[in-house]
Structure 1
Amino acid sequence: MGLVLPQEIVTERVLPTLRTELATALLERGWTQRAVAEQLGVTQAAVSGYASGKGTVDERLTDDPRFGETVDRLVAGFDSDDLDEYEAMTEIIELIRSFEDRGPICAIHEAEMPALEGLGCDICVRGADDAVAADRETLANVRRATRMLRTSDSIGAFVPNAGTNLGMARPNPVGPADVAAIPGRIHSVRGRIEVPGNPEFGVSEHVSRMILAANEVDPTVLAACNLRTDERLLEAARERGFETFAFDADYEDRTERLRSAFETRATVPRIVYHEGAFGIEPITYVLGESAVSVVDVVADLVTAETEP
């Protein structure tokens, strides 16, 4: 599906579901169909449809406790005549606003407009500010880089058994939530790269740690991809003028130890690797300014080592 405005979600999903639930609850309290129609501003035929189970109900909305609480307050107020139309409208608008702030409206919007997936979009609340633009650019860069991985005939041979990942941080990252990566990792199946989904923020652990440690010392480093450590790749990197840096595979305090090592060197090598340990697969990280630039380097290294 193409362009879907958030207002369409409100008009086509939220309001019909709300009317259905309100009508059903008022009918259960003994209201006539005519009285319900007048109260909700709909036709009596519409209320008859609600009563016969033909109304629209989106469970992604009704499953949220805030929806039921709002319906209960509105029904109680209508039934006791303690709630006028202005107050009812205020209640409904507040519900919609809360649902637009990373709530069910966002979930429905993302499902119907895949371009929003993983963006953490709150444009309804915050507007199209610079931070939203940066997030979009970051996710788009990771998507482009992922497509580049898919088209490679050589990278599959260097994907770790546990899978690989490709990540890129938004500018000035402070934690893993600022790094966009592929949820579930990327795997090689019979030499073919399989990507389980679109990039999202906050779904990577190991790649995020590497990016964050490197970025604190060199803010130009925003992206990384991990591969299986292979001496052929390391040698190809050295031949192309890349400095390679070995570190301890132990996970304990890894981010702090990496940061300290980079600070001591005053530089961040673009090829960082370890030889593994008990239960830890040997991994090499390729670092760069963007996910696309990282995959460019990866593709060059693996192509050099698979050419006859």
Structure 2
Amino acid sequence: MRFAEEVVVEEFLPTFRSMLAEDLRERGLTQSEVADALGISQSAVSKYAHGDVAGNERVREDERVARLVDEIGEGLATESMSQLQALVEVEVLIRRLEDRDLIAQLHEEVMPELAGYGGDFNVHDPDDELRATERVLSSMRRGVHIVEGTSGFTSLIPAVGSNLCECLPNAESIDDVAGIPGRIFDVKGRATIPADPEFGVSGHVASILLAARNEGADVHAALNIRYAPEIVERLESTGRATAEFDAEYDDLGTAIETALDGTPDATVLYQTGGYGIEPIVYVLGDSAEEVAEIAREIV
């Protein structure tokens, strides 16, 4: 009697780890760094590198496996993907391959009695909350890398600091929005990120994002930058619709509703300030990566 889990352990995982170790080495990581990234010993990495671990050619040749190896390799090498996110993505692929797919086929080969039945189940939901949360944090980390690597980004940071946010698909409160703890500030000419992205740490920018979504805007991320007429013009020159709202609002939802009523497709919201209120521009988009790229475009 052989279980599907045995096929995963004996056929899929050794092949996948070997492919991922090769990918990371090709990206310039040392044997020690690969071991740390994969959570295995250096001796195990050495065995993978020298082909001392048997692999399954059908697993190695599967384009979905190769695509995930490339995605995770890039994510781990650039630190834009956590080990937890990588684990979740591999688990999701495994469960999919168990369901009338490659792993089910390999399982049926060692257990012919399962022909027509093996894999007729799905253990993991690929759209569960953990995966969604890790996807948002992964996107946030990639957005942070863009901000840190953008020469001149500090010219866009307002006096109150910038924040980069992205929300879960069904976000209802700021606890469902990931942001930068402490905001992004200009420290000696460099955009400084004080800590890794977390959920529930952004109040104002997250509130703007949620208010826009409540009015029907199909957006999931936001970045606040300083206001200047030329900055708004630059954003408009890239084809983005803009809408102004009143900085001295009594109710944020009403202020955003009024702005979007006039320009429903606006993905740039701005206010020109008020008594004790700094003027700010809010760039909205589908992901943290996207809004960070927009900022890079206009620097």
TM-score, length basis structure 1: 0.55
Q: Does 1:301 align with 2:293?
A: no
Residues 268, 209 of structure 1: alpha-carbon distance in 2 compared, 3 angstrom cutoff: farther
Structure 1 residue corresponding to 2:205, chosen from 186, 204, 207: 207
Structure 1 residue corresponding to 2:230, chosen from 229, 232, 248: 232
Equivalenced residue count is: 187
Is the 2:249–2:255 contact (alpha carbons within 8 Å) kept by the matching residues of 1?
no
Q: Does 1:181 align with 2:203?
A: no
Distance 2:287 2:239 in 1: 19
Query: What does the per-residue CA deviation read over 1:201-255, in whole Å, with 9 as the maximum and x for residues that have no partner?
Result: 1110111111111112335201000000012211111222222111111253113
Is the 1:139–1:200 contact (alpha carbons within 8 Å) kept by the matching residues of 2?
yes
Letter in 2 for 1:166: L
Residues 269, 2 of structure 1: alpha-carbon distance in 2 compared, 3 angstrom cutoff: same
Letter in 1 for 2:151: D
Is the 1:217–1:266 contact (alpha carbons within 8 Å) kept by the matching residues of 2?
no
Equivalent residue, structure 2, for 1:271: 268
Distance 1:237 1:129 in 2: 34
Residues 129, 171 of structure 1: alpha-carbon distance in 2 compared, 3 angstrom cutoff: closer
Is the 2:171–2:177 contact (alpha carbons within 8 Å) kept by the matching residues of 1?
yes
Equivalent residue, structure 2, for 1:217: 215
Q: Does 1:165 align with 2:176?
A: no
Equivalent residue, structure 2, for 1:142: 140
Task: Write the mapping of 1:234-273 to structure 2, written as runs, cut at 5 A.
Answer: 234-250=232-248, 252-262=250-260, 264-265=261-262, 267-273=264-270
Letter in 2 for 1:300: E
SS at match of 2:240: coil
Q: Does 1:284 align with 2:289?
A: no
Distance 2:227 2:190 in 1: 19
Distance 2:217 2:172 in 1: 12
In structure 1, runs of 5+ residues without a counterpart are 5-113, 118-125, 303-308
Same amino acid, percent of matched pairs: 36
Residues 186, 115 of structure 1: alpha-carbon distance in 2 compared, 3 angstrom cutoff: farther
SS at match of 1:147: helix
Residues 260, 240 of structure 1: alpha-carbon distance in 2 compared, 3 angstrom cutoff: same
Distance 1:131 1:268 in 2: 29
Q: CA deviation at 1:294?
A: 0.7
Letter in 2 for 1:295: A
Distance 2:84 2:281 in 1: 32
Q: CA deviation at 1:166?
A: 0.2
Query: What does the per-residue CA deviation read over 1:99-144, in whole Å, with 9 as the maximum and x for residues that have no partner?
Result: xxxxxxxxxxxxxxx8569xxxxxxxx9986110000000110110
Q: CA deviation at 1:261?
A: 3.6
Instruction: Indicate the larger mover: 246-255 or 129-138.
Output: 246-255
In structure 2, runs of 5+ residues without a counterpart are 1-35, 40-81, 86-123
TM-score, length basis structure 2: 0.57
Distance 1:225 1:115 in 2: 26
Q: CA RMSD in A?
A: 2.7
Equivalent residue, structure 2, for 1:156: 154
Distance 2:222 2:171 in 1: 14
Runs of 4+ residues deviating >3 angstroms: 1-4, 114-117, 126-129
SS at match of 2:181: coil
Letter in 1 for 2:257: R
